[in-house]
Every structure is written in C-alpha cells, then in structure tokens.
C-alpha cells in the first residue's frame, strides 16, 4: 500500500465539495526543513565541538597526539548516527506533508507515524505572514481568529516557533514561498469578499486578511 492510496486526492481526506477548486499543493523542502526546523547545523556543530574537546582533554591528560585523535574519533560514529537520524526525520516529515490551498480553505496534512489533517477555512484566518529566506524558500504562518483546539504538540513542526499558548499553524520551508503567499492571500480575499457579498448584498467589501513578508531585512505587504 502506497502513502496516498487511502486518499481520494493526495493530501485531502475526502473529495472536495461541489464548486470548490484546488489552487495549489506543495510540501516542505526537506533540506531547508532540516536546517530551519530541526537545526541540523547546530547539532553538527555541537558534535564537532564535542569531538574536539574530547581529543584535547585526552591530549592534556598525557596521551599522545595519535591516541588523543583516536579517543576523539571513537565517538564519531555516534555523532554521525545522531546527525543522520535528524536528516532522516526531516526527510520523512517533508515526504509525509502536503499543503493544499483551495478557493475556500487551507489544508495541512502531515504526520510520519500518525497522519493528521488540519482544515483551516479562510473565515477562521485573521492574517498570514511570510518569512522569506535568501533561497526563495520560506514559512507562511497563519494567525487564527478566536479560540482554537489546536495544540503546539499536534502541529509541530508545522507551527510558528515558541507560540506555545496560542499555536500558529504554518506552512514551513516551502519553495517559492513568495508566490505561495500571494496566491494564498488572493484566494482568501476573493473567498471572504464573496461571503460578504452573499451575506449583505454589497458589491464592494473589505476584509481583514493580510500578509506581511520579512526577507533580507525588508518588510513588504502583499494583497
């Protein structure tokens, strides 16, 4: 059985209702995810410093340079295994994740061992922020209106860091994040305008949905 065999549409638990259209699907870049969410560079640096310190301590204890080197390298396989586990988990996380934007909602499907699907209708979203990296990848956190039953533990790593009490769902480490952000806000604005017009009969309405991009020290607004 393949990963998506139980899904009528990959990334969605059921077929879209009549009239709803899928606009975009994407997933994290596992290399960027490993760096940004799992901090693999920091772990590798820690392991490197640990190996160096072990060798220096052995040398200062009177062991020769060769023996000090062997003492440091003795734990190198453990360091390599630890880094490898982090990279593997980042790859599995990206592989099992699909972000879907329709003309009515955003759906986050993720989970390595247990699949979780988070459905976010646009009317529940207050704002969208964009954190853009130099590579063009980026994060798109969504601030929600009112109370939510979502928890940080359920969402991680698809949540804005350190927002524990009020978790913020996030599309993370996606390629061409600027385009994705603009597409998401355009879809939100159009959908909310249609809802307002249907409710009030007014042709021109304004919504509170917004997106702010932060990249290279520059703040930009879209939508």
Task: Identify the domain boundary among 53, 72, 92.
Answer: 92
In a domain, 143, yes or no: yes
DSSP 16: P
DSSP 9: B
Q: What pLDDT is stored for residue 73 in this prediction? A: 78
> For residues 135 and 113, is the Cβ–Cβ distance under 8 A?
no
The β-bridge partners of 101 are: 24, 106
- Residue 172, SS3 per DSSP: strand
Distances 13 to 91, 94, 117, 180 between C-alpha atoms, Å: 22, 18, 7, 22
Task: Identify the domain boundary among 92, 107, 138.
Answer: 92
CA atoms lying within 13 Å on the CB side of residue 158: 25
Domain range for 180 is 121-222
Q: What pLDDT is stored for residue 218 in this prediction? A: 31
Q: What pLDDT is stored for residue 1 in this prediction? A: 39
Is 128 found in the same domain as 217?
A: yes
Give the span between the Cα atoms of 129 and 136, in whole angstroms: 15
CA atoms lying within 13 Å on the CB side of residue 109: 19
pLDDT by 10s per residue, the chain, length 223: 345 556 788 888 888 899 899 999 999 999 999 999 999 999 999 888 888 887 888 777 777 777 777 777 777 888 889 999 999 999 999 999 999 999 999 999 999 988 899 999 999 999 999 999 999 999 999 999 887 888 999 899 999 998 888 999 999 999 999 999 999 999 999 988 887 777 766 544 444 444 443 333 333 333 3
In a domain, 30, yes or no: no
| pTM, to two decimals | 0.81
């Amino acid at each position: 059985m393949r990963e998506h065999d139980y899904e009528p549409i990959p990334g969605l638990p059921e077929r879209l209702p009549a009239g709803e259209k899928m606009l975009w699907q994407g997933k994290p870049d596992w290399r960027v995810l490993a760096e940004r969410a799992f901090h693999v560079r920091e772990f590798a640096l820690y392991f490197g410093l640990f190996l160096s310190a072990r060798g220096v301590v052995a040398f200062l204890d009177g062991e020769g340079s060769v023996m000090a080197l062997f003492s440091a390298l003795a734990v190198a396989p453990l360091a390599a295994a630890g880094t490898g586990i982090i990279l593997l988990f980042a790859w599995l996380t990206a592989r099992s994740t699909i972000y879907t934007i329709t003309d009515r909602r955003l759906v986050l499907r993720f989970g390595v061992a247990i699949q979780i699907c988070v459905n976010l209708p646009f009317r529940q979203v207050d704002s969208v922020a964009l954190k853009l990296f130099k590579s063009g990848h980026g994060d798109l956190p969504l601030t929600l209106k009112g109370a939510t039953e979502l928890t940080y533990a359920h969402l991680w790593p698809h949540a804005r860091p350190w927002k524990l009490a009020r978790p913020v769902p996030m599309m993370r480490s996606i390629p061409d994040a600027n385009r994705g952000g603009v597409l998401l806000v355009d879809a939100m604005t159009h959908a909310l305008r249609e809802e307002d017009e249907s409710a009030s009969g007014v042709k021109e309405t304004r919504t509170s949905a917004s997106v702010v991009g932060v990249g290279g020290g520059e703040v930009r607004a879209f939508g």
